[in-house]
Structure 1
Amino acid sequence: MAILDEPLLPHDRSFSGHKRERGCRDVLFLLLFIFFWAGMGVCAFFGFKKGQPEILAYGLDYEGSVCHKNQNLRDLTDYSIRFWVNPKQVSETHKVSSLKDSKSLCLAHCPQPVAENKTISWVCNYPDSKNGNPKDRDMKSWNQGYNRGTPYDYFQDLSKEAQHNSMSLKGPCYPVLFKSKNQFWSCQFYDDIDEDSHKIWTDMGGVPFGSDAESLSRLAVTVEKAIDSLLGGPIDILNRYINDIKNGWEVCAPHSRHLLYALASCHWVCAYPWTDSFGTS
């Protein structure tokens, strides 16, 4: 049997065979990997700095602003509650997505129906010079009801054409026909439609919502369920993630342990004999 000599190393000067310098063949992929994570870091930076995650939970008003925020269009710092103003749009809700598209405003509190002296309460668009809105009204006067005791209401100051559009639920003012309460920073409708306000509304020539009391009751139930489903969506998703973590940890733990075992096999294989020796002894 021939005895093999100790192999010559490439750096040995006496080595006369074919030798090749080992190059950095993974530099290109390393650079691509670094650029990838740098791009991810830039996206994360702009996402945290300029992102508005509350849009996913609270949505936008009809101007595209988030409630309780001071943005370019107007200062809504004191108006943190979202209210769906058009009762017809809300009543025709059959899917949660359609409620998201319904017109909404940011208010300081949820308005309540008031039927006195053959008048009803209204919620009007933010004060500006469009669609017949009063030109000399600011947000503070709008919130205080222009000294009439009915906040967000300037229906009497509108032109005849704008009042007619409001009676047809085309804005800028909309009747308050349902009771509502603040729930998760949105006005949740509850109870049946206010009969006194609805009667005055129809006597004034407003667009009807139903032909009988039963249909009005169904309308109130539909509105309540639609808004409740919309508000519960993000919470349900979070609960599903939490339940998945609770139910899946028994599967994730063995996989994590096997991954650690594979890494240890690659890098610390020389320690296994000693580990077995100590383990058996």
Structure 2
Amino acid sequence: MLAVTAHDHLPSGPVAVLANPTAGRGRHRGLLPRLLERLAGAGRPVRLLEATSPGEAEAACRAAVADGAGALVAVGGDGTVHRAVQAVAGTAVPFGPVPAGTGNDFAVETGYPADPVAAVGVITDALRDGRARPVDLARLTTPDGGDRWYGAVLAAGFDAIVNERANRMAWPRGPRRYDLAILVELARLRPRRYRLRLDDEEHELDAVLVAVGNAASYGGGMRICPDADPTDGLLDVVVGGRFDRRTLMRVKPRIYQGTHVAHPLVRAYRARTVELDAAGITTYVDGERAFDLPVRISAVPAAVRLLH
């Protein structure tokens, strides 16, 4: 009976689980039965959602929340977490990200262990204890009514351009396609003209890198916005100015430690709302393709409740 009464502070209802078996190139595929069994130890029914595409995954999460799920758990990388977040953002349904992908930035930046079994242990304990803590999300909107939530980082510079190039390429397959896209775009590298509005402050600048972070890292541990805090109600904006190819390649490894912000061509800002525009740029959020510029990004305090 204790398992029933311990959930006073969380919605009742089953735990819905979204799992991406191909996350992290499938290296955690065999773990899923063990993770589901561990989650069942919280004393709630556990329901595995069925989906064969990112669109289906997002729709399944939204349907589960609408049908009265008491919690949503996403087993996968940042892409899987991104789909699940669209369903729980702004609701009372608590969320648990289980890092099982190539990039697990949101889960790790919000304090979950990098090991999936350990992360499920944290989530199960929180479910059993009826415990969830609020964390901010960023809300991305477009002039024509487009709307997405994200937890980690929006990329709108060189990295977004490389992603867009890689997604258009049919060959080669796998990680080498991304490497080739980097080479192609490095050869074409030029600063773009950006218009930035940070709360009420306007900036026009030439830049190669632009990132808007709710959390610090993207791309599997690159600390592009090293001081971003997903509980401070603010967005961190990091802009890398007129880099040439050689300087960019020298600075890029420093992003893993977050020391690139000390470079004289890098500027960092903080704001509650960010309006961003430049010609010919498609944004990526949590590694997923989002909207063409212009966009507006707002920090939304306590937009999601994490099982932690």
TM-score, normalised to structure 1, is 0.27
More helix by share: 1
TM-score, normalised to structure 2, is 0.25
Larger radius of gyration: 1
